[in-house]
Structure 1
Amino acid sequence: MLPVLSGRQNQVPDARSIVVRGRGQRSLYSSSVDEFLRTEDTTVVGQLTYFHGFDTNSEQAEAWASEIRMLKEQLQDLRHGHIFLEFLIPRMGRRADAVIVLDGFIFVIEFKVGAGHFESKDLEQTFGYALDLKYFHKSSHNLPIVPVLVATLAPNTSVNITWDPETIAAPIKSNGNNLHSILTMIPAQAEAKTLVAAELWADGSYHPSPTIVQAAQALYAGHDVKDITRSEADEAGLAETSEYVQSIIHSARMSGDKCIAFVTGVPGAGKTLVGLNIATMTKASDTEHAVYLSGNGPLVTVIQEALARDESRRLGCTKAHSQRRAAAYVQNIHHFRDEYVRDTRPPVENVVIFDEAQRAWNREQTSKFMQTKKRLAGFDQSEPEFLISVMDRHDDWAVIVALVGGGQEINAGEAGLDGWIEALDRKHSNWKIYVAPEVEDPKSMGTPVDLAHYSSVNVEVSPTLHLRTSQRSFRSELISEGVHHLVHGDPDAAAEIFYRTHELFPIVVARDLTAAKTWIQNKRKPTESSGLLASSKAYRLLPEGIFVKNKIDPAVWFLNEPADVRSSHALELVGTEFDVQGLELDWTIVAWDIDYRWNGSHFEHWKFAGARWQQIRQNVDRDFLRNAYRVLLTRARQGMVIYLPYGSDDDHTRNTSWYTSNADYLDSAGLKTIS
């Protein structure tokens, strides 16, 4: 039971004063309540719309207008308070509708305009914002936080205030008409003796509370991340690489150096596992503690969800609590980036791990995004350059661990490993660079790096930084090499490898989707996973029932039980290269469309626009398409079917000869067709 506040007998611990430098920009709108009441509603809505950064529809603008009118009605005699609208939780990527700082209390208000009752999911969302602030916003660690859900058409409800031991109130239900009484009653019942400077409070940095980091450590200790990554990696190789990276971190701290270590490896070698191990090997109080960051949204979602489900099941706690514990060390790199665009201080961590580092944006893509979406005129850095500069803010030491998948750049504007080395060469030549010799090998990296081209950098080469699989798990290494030859148009070299692996890792071709699914279902054991995959540009698989534009929920698709038709096991919803990069399944069906088309001598690259196919001319876009198929064809751990439809000569976009040419190519690569 939470202790109930009754009069002045059960008081909230004193709120403590906050001393930090002011920077603003934590919210889309910030002002004293007095100024807010004197500002025209349209002016406030205009500011919210302008700073939102993305297209704002009329429904959102109307919702803001309704919230503003209600807040003005309820705040009339509370002019000494401060109000924030669309308040961003540091590095969590979530915004609370309104935060009111009043008499030493933090009120987090979530509006559901037009809602006639209080949904449990909305109460969880509101309480979640309060938890985010308590756990991740340094200025909020010691302050009382009150979450309020406002459903504007709900009936009046009584207000009962209960507090947990960390001074977070249970969510309060309101239709907005009693918001004034809530805001005045709670400070009157439980005095917060120290007033809070609102702008200084808002400017508090990201800093996980000791309790949440310790909980994250315990969470990881009780869960085998190999269940998530399902890596084919050699554990001895993982340990050696992890220990070597740890030695780099320790040496950098002792000597005051700034270092970046690039960990490379074949698909399935365990790069993600190395990153998670490093992030959780140190104690919460250790100055070498690291945070794991990834720009791969589905990967972050799946890892956080898997860990949260596991802890919730084992300990009986709510999944929402467990998700926040997981978020203490597994985070989205874009939230990290956006936080330190706003905040010019160094991060709390001296060590950061960037997974899928090859997907960081180049200068053109980053500048365009920052200028158009974040309203940062004149921003002219690549994502690697900016992220390195953030860690370079540390006066003493810093380490970046970049996990790089070779030949896996799959989207426009991805900088690849070259983008990181170039950023170091141009602006940060004082950093020490650690790489494996394989970074210069086309087979290992797809697009190799010529280290001799960068004259300013200090490079130390170590084979320990490239993950190699052991003999007992040689399939991953050989299949990756075979796929390399297959997507580069060398069927003879691919056939030689597939002949050596067909007993342990079967790959077959199916011209019928039902036959492909039957083959997978016959191979898959009850505890094994499977899924249907296709290129994000495979638009003409739609007549076969494969709709690549449909967005899956990655956590549901990867983690739910086979009986759930939304899960990958059902072989109904398709995952694209963007959904599955960095993750693996035991058995896969890879649907191969004619976007990547064999013409008898080499591959052609096509995109479907409007009602017809158009040939891709730019080399970089051709590389992205080839890499997409490389990613899709290296997701399976035990075997796969490559599904090629027959097409139809009655459909000019699905000419049978195109599909037949691809089928002939796969046959020449030693892959047999099943009936």
Structure 2
Amino acid sequence: MKTANWLIGENLAGYSVWKVGEFVAASHETIVNQLSTRLIEHYRGDHERQLWSWRKQVRILQDALREHLQTHPRARDWGIILEYPLLRLQRRLDAVLLAGDIITIVEFKVGGGSYSPADKRQVEDYALGLRDFHETSRGMPIWPVLCVTEAQEGQLTPLSRDVGEVATTNAESLGEVFAVLSRASERDDATQIDVLEWDAGAYRPVPTIVQAAEQLFAGHDVTEIAAAASDKRNLGETTEALISLIERARQNNEHIVAFVTGVPGSGKTLVGLNAVHDSRFSRHGQNPGAYLSGNTPLVKVLQEALAADARKREGIKADEAKRRVGAAVQTLMNFLREYLNAHPNRAPADHVVVFDEAQRAWDAAYGKQKFDRPKSEASLFLEIMGRHDDWAVIIALVGGGQEINKGELGLSEWGRALNEENANPNTPHWTAVASPEVLEGGEATAWQKLFDEMPGAWVEHDQRLHLDASIRSYGSNAAPNWVNALLAGDLGSAAKIAQSEPDFPVYLTRDLDRAKAWLRQSARGNRRCGLVASSGARRIRADGMGVSLGAAQLDDVAHWFLRERGDIRSSYALEVVANEYGCQGLELDYVGVCWDGDMLWSSQGHCWEPRRLNGAKWQSIRQPDGKSWALNKYRVLLTRARLGTVIWVPTGSETDLTRKPKHYDQIARALSDAGARLLII
């Protein structure tokens, strides 16, 4: 039987769970000793400073609660947890107080003298994380409190049925927080949360791609990240399938290409990163594999974020951090240059490579132009990885509807390349292991297939290689399907999808200032917001949105995604849009999509009609490939959000032929008919 003052996770984390009555009666040194159980392992900074801070924090809490119990004895049954770990996000909550059915998070800044906006956002972010990802906190009132011990008297905020605004207090007035909690929790219908049951609730966060990559490079894994819907396939199952294939190739000296599919935002990149950085590699004295992407902005953002994290975490120099990260996260073109130009006969250092967005592999004509080799990108990778005499694995991550460049051939080129390699007696024999969607065609692959005719026994299927739920849009399971129906022109189906969720998170406005206000209001804590627009959205400059970040502005893109609130270079500034080339593969919590006249709605044809601006006139795009690429640009933009999207459609001008109001009105009407909700703030 677990007791109230049981030290939970003593062999893992070193945090303590109490009933308030026992907590105030305990020696503060006993409590601090419990917290310091795993101090060296979990705190890389100044340990003496951390111990000093804990001693101060525990005394402040005990004194304030002891005084509070004199007038509110029922508070003895409250629960209190110190240093509650959110392990998969590498965070700890200083104190969680469970008063009746109210969850209060108290973040201490011991010795601090002012309430900084960054500190407020920190505790607010903790509260939002519990609401969204902690099983036993869902639907409960959560109150974030910032206690800056030496600051002037703070300000209490009203309790909310959701996540309340951040309250501020100093050490002397902390008791006022407890008084508010007692008044609220002592009502007749309040039920006291059981502290042990609350602590036992599963915490399954959905980190951003940047946060997940930082965890992996710090030695953690992401196999327990859950999809938004519990009945959907877990990333861990797909990761284990890939690791098993790598082990099989290593043990049996095989060459394997594994094709992983998934809906937009389903975690394909996370699975690839997790597979090549699994700790089991080190047992065989192997280096982790390499993650390769043709998406240069994605690579740049990951490299910058990982290098900064490594410098902070390990105290290494910037050059060393960049060197380490650069070997593990590379652009496809740099990999090809090394092994086609610099070392044309050498086997790669890595036995395992992840080829992200493999369906976008370019054709032989581009290979001839770039490397004087008339071979497609798929063929060149099979050739290079085939230089390993013993074994090699290519993990090909396949999405659908994301092709936005000329020369991207899709899955069929991989099928042709594999057939050619396996027909050549002088090259290694490759086994293809693929999700059924790759072999049969489906929505996740935009109905592309690997082969027109199944070639033979060297092709295996594995359902575990398909990810069927978006974890990016964890706030809505319906959002990716809505985007597909919308862009297919099926407004009726899109409307039904939107109506299936009472809080469908896609909004529509004709007012840019209102869209910006909603983004700023929604992006609480450290949630990130930003504006995106198609590279063809050339006339939004008339409304002040003239600067667009794409693949050529890599430093600016990295600043846009990584800089903090208050930095004019960051996405928070809402001054610069990222286009589809600058944001593909990356994500924001809240996104403002600027919809311009490059994508019109035809009420007669019941379809979207893409256009391009040529000089001072719009021209219709009539080629099938061009139409497909244009629609995919908007598919990329509309699937960047994790929590909510607002679409801004300009009103236009009667005096500007490139901005006819009737065209924008038709776009807005179509979006409304498809179920986008009118933004009201």
Taking structure 2 as the reference length, what is the TM-score of the superposition? 0.62
How far did 1:548 drift? 5.0
How far did 1:389 drift? 1.0
How far did 1:331 drift? 1.1
In structure 2, give the amino acid aligned to 1:316.
G
Question: 2:411 touches 2:450 (CA, 8 Å); kept in 1?
Answer: no
For 1:646, the equivalent position in structure 2 comes to: 651
How far did 1:478 drift? 2.4
Mapping of 1:445-456 within 5 angstroms? 445-449=445-449, 451-455=451-455
For 2:572, the equivalent position in structure 1 comes to: 569
Mapping of 1:647-662 within 5 angstroms? 647-662=652-667
For 2:625, the equivalent position in structure 1 comes to: 620
For 2:399, the equivalent position in structure 1 comes to: 405
Partner Cα distance (1:403, 1:421) in 2 = 14
Partner Cα distance (1:451, 1:275) in 2 = 23
Partner SS, residue 327 of structure 1: helix
In structure 2, give the amino acid aligned to 1:608.
L
Partner Cα distance (1:258, 1:403) in 2 = 17
Cα–Cα, structure 1 residues 219 and 253, in superposed 2: closer, same or farther, change >3 Å? Answer: same
Cα–Cα, structure 1 residues 471 and 617, in superposed 2: closer, same or farther, change >3 Å? Answer: closer
Partner Cα distance (2:495, 2:441) in 1 = 21
Cα–Cα, structure 1 residues 476 and 291, in superposed 2: closer, same or farther, change >3 Å? Answer: farther
Cα–Cα, structure 1 residues 255 and 550, in superposed 2: closer, same or farther, change >3 Å? Answer: closer
Partner Cα distance (1:568, 1:459) in 2 = 44
For 1:302, the equivalent position in structure 2 comes to: 301
Mapping of 1:537-556 within 5 angstroms? 537-547=536-546, 549-551=548-550, 552=553, 553-556=556-559
Partner Cα distance (1:312, 1:394) in 2 = 34
Partner Cα distance (1:218, 1:283) in 2 = 18
Partner Cα distance (1:340, 1:471) in 2 = 35
For 1:484, the equivalent position in structure 2 comes to: 484
How far did 1:359 drift? 2.3
In structure 2, give the amino acid aligned to 1:645.
P
Q: Does residue 590 of the first structure (1) align with residue 593 of the second (2)?
A: yes
Tell me which moved more, 466-475 or 523-532: 466-475
How far did 1:577 drift? 1.0
Q: Does residue 222 of the first structure (1) align with residue 218 of the second (2)?
A: yes
Partner SS, residue 500 of structure 2: helix
Question: 1:231 touches 1:584 (CA, 8 Å); kept in 2?
Answer: no
Question: 1:293 touches 1:333 (CA, 8 Å); kept in 2?
Answer: yes
Partner SS, residue 459 of structure 2: strand
Cα–Cα, structure 1 residues 233 and 355, in superposed 2: closer, same or farther, change >3 Å? Answer: farther
For residues 606-652 of structure 1, what are the alpha-carbon distances to aligned partners after superposition, in whole Å with 9 as ceiling and x for unaligned? Answer: 11122211111211111111111111101101011011001112111
Partner Cα distance (2:524, 2:214) in 1 = 31
Partner SS, residue 394 of structure 1: coil
Question: 1:279 touches 1:292 (CA, 8 Å); kept in 2?
Answer: yes
Question: 1:246 touches 1:278 (CA, 8 Å); kept in 2?
Answer: yes
Partner Cα distance (2:419, 2:237) in 1 = 28
Tell me which moved more, 578-587 or 453-462: 453-462
Taking structure 1 as the reference length, what is the TM-score of the superposition? 0.63
Partner Cα distance (1:630, 1:225) in 2 = 30
Cα–Cα, structure 1 residues 289 and 549, in superposed 2: closer, same or farther, change >3 Å? Answer: closer
For 1:603, the equivalent position in structure 2 comes to: 608
Partner SS, residue 234 of structure 2: helix
1:250 to 239, 247, 250: 247
Q: Does residue 365 of the first structure (1) align with residue 366 of the second (2)?
A: yes
Question: 1:308 touches 1:323 (CA, 8 Å); kept in 2?
Answer: yes
Partner Cα distance (2:458, 2:216) in 1 = 35
Partner SS, residue 364 of structure 1: helix
The answer for unaligned runs of 5 or more in structure 1 is 1-216, 371-375
In structure 1, give the amino acid aligned to 2:455.
S
In structure 1, give the amino acid aligned to 2:364.
R
For residues 403-422 of structure 1, what are the alpha-carbon distances to aligned partners after superposition, in whole Å with 9 as ceiling and x for unaligned? Answer: 11211111111122222122
Cα–Cα, structure 1 residues 447 and 649, in superposed 2: closer, same or farther, change >3 Å? Answer: farther
Cα–Cα, structure 1 residues 543 and 535, in superposed 2: closer, same or farther, change >3 Å? Answer: same
Cα–Cα, structure 1 residues 427 and 609, in superposed 2: closer, same or farther, change >3 Å? Answer: farther
How far did 1:492 drift? 0.8
Q: Does residue 276 of the first structure (1) align with residue 273 of the second (2)?
A: yes
Question: 2:227 touches 2:471 (CA, 8 Å); kept in 1?
Answer: no
Cα–Cα, structure 1 residues 307 and 261, in superposed 2: closer, same or farther, change >3 Å? Answer: same
For residues 30-69 of structure 1, what are the alpha-carbon distances to aligned partners after superposition, in whole Å with 9 as ceiling and x for unaligned? Answer: xxxxxxxxxxxxxxxxxxxxxxxxxxxxxxxxxxxxxxxx
For 2:468, the equivalent position in structure 1 comes to: 468
In structure 1, give the amino acid aligned to 2:661.
T
Partner SS, residue 299 of structure 1: helix
How far did 1:315 drift? 3.3
Partner Cα distance (2:470, 2:631) in 1 = 28
Question: 1:482 touches 1:498 (CA, 8 Å); kept in 2?
Answer: yes
Q: Does residue 663 of the first structure (1) align with residue 660 of the second (2)?
A: no
Question: 1:537 touches 1:548 (CA, 8 Å); kept in 2?
Answer: no
Partner Cα distance (2:335, 2:216) in 1 = 21
Partner SS, residue 546 of structure 1: coil
For residues 95-114 of structure 1, what are the alpha-carbon distances to aligned partners after superposition, in whole Å with 9 as ceiling and x for unaligned? Answer: xxxxxxxxxxxxxxxxxxxx
How far did 1:263 drift? 0.9
How far did 1:218 drift? 11
Question: 1:539 touches 1:548 (CA, 8 Å); kept in 2?
Answer: no
Cα–Cα, structure 1 residues 590 and 419, in superposed 2: closer, same or farther, change >3 Å? Answer: same
Cα–Cα, structure 1 residues 565 and 470, in superposed 2: closer, same or farther, change >3 Å? Answer: closer
Question: 2:548 touches 2:579 (CA, 8 Å); kept in 1?
Answer: no
Cα–Cα, structure 1 residues 332 and 476, in superposed 2: closer, same or farther, change >3 Å? Answer: farther
Partner Cα distance (2:260, 2:664) in 1 = 38
How far did 1:473 drift? 7.5
The answer for unaligned runs of 5 or more in structure 2 is 1-212, 424-428
Partner SS, residue 453 of structure 1: coil
In structure 2, give the amino acid aligned to 1:337.
L
Partner Cα distance (1:608, 1:317) in 2 = 49
Partner Cα distance (1:393, 1:408) in 2 = 31
Question: 1:250 touches 1:288 (CA, 8 Å); kept in 2?
Answer: no
Question: 1:559 touches 1:567 (CA, 8 Å); kept in 2?
Answer: yes
Cα–Cα, structure 1 residues 461 and 220, in superposed 2: closer, same or farther, change >3 Å? Answer: closer
Partner SS, residue 509 of structure 1: strand
Partner SS, residue 566 of structure 2: coil
Partner Cα distance (2:302, 2:601) in 1 = 37
Tell me which moved more, 540-549 or 450-459: 450-459
Question: 1:359 touches 1:414 (CA, 8 Å); kept in 2?
Answer: yes
For 1:444, the equivalent position in structure 2 comes to: 444
Tell me which moved more, 453-462 or 490-499: 453-462
In structure 1, give the amino acid aligned to 2:675.
G
Identity of aligned residues (%): 41
Question: 1:506 touches 1:638 (CA, 8 Å); kept in 2?
Answer: yes
Partner Cα distance (1:445, 1:389) in 2 = 25
Partner Cα distance (1:475, 1:483) in 2 = 15
Partner Cα distance (2:526, 2:315) in 1 = 24
Cα–Cα, structure 1 residues 450 and 264, in superposed 2: closer, same or farther, change >3 Å? Answer: closer
Q: Does residue 581 of the first structure (1) align with residue 584 of the second (2)?
A: yes
Partner SS, residue 270 of structure 2: helix
User: How many correspondences in the alignment?
Assistant: 450
How far did 1:590 drift? 0.6
For residues 545-598 of structure 1, what are the alpha-carbon distances to aligned partners after superposition, in whole Å with 9 as ceiling and x for unaligned? Answer: 222545552221111001011101111111111111111110000111121111
Partner Cα distance (1:346, 1:550) in 2 = 37
Partner SS, residue 322 of structure 1: helix
Question: 1:312 touches 1:319 (CA, 8 Å); kept in 2?
Answer: yes
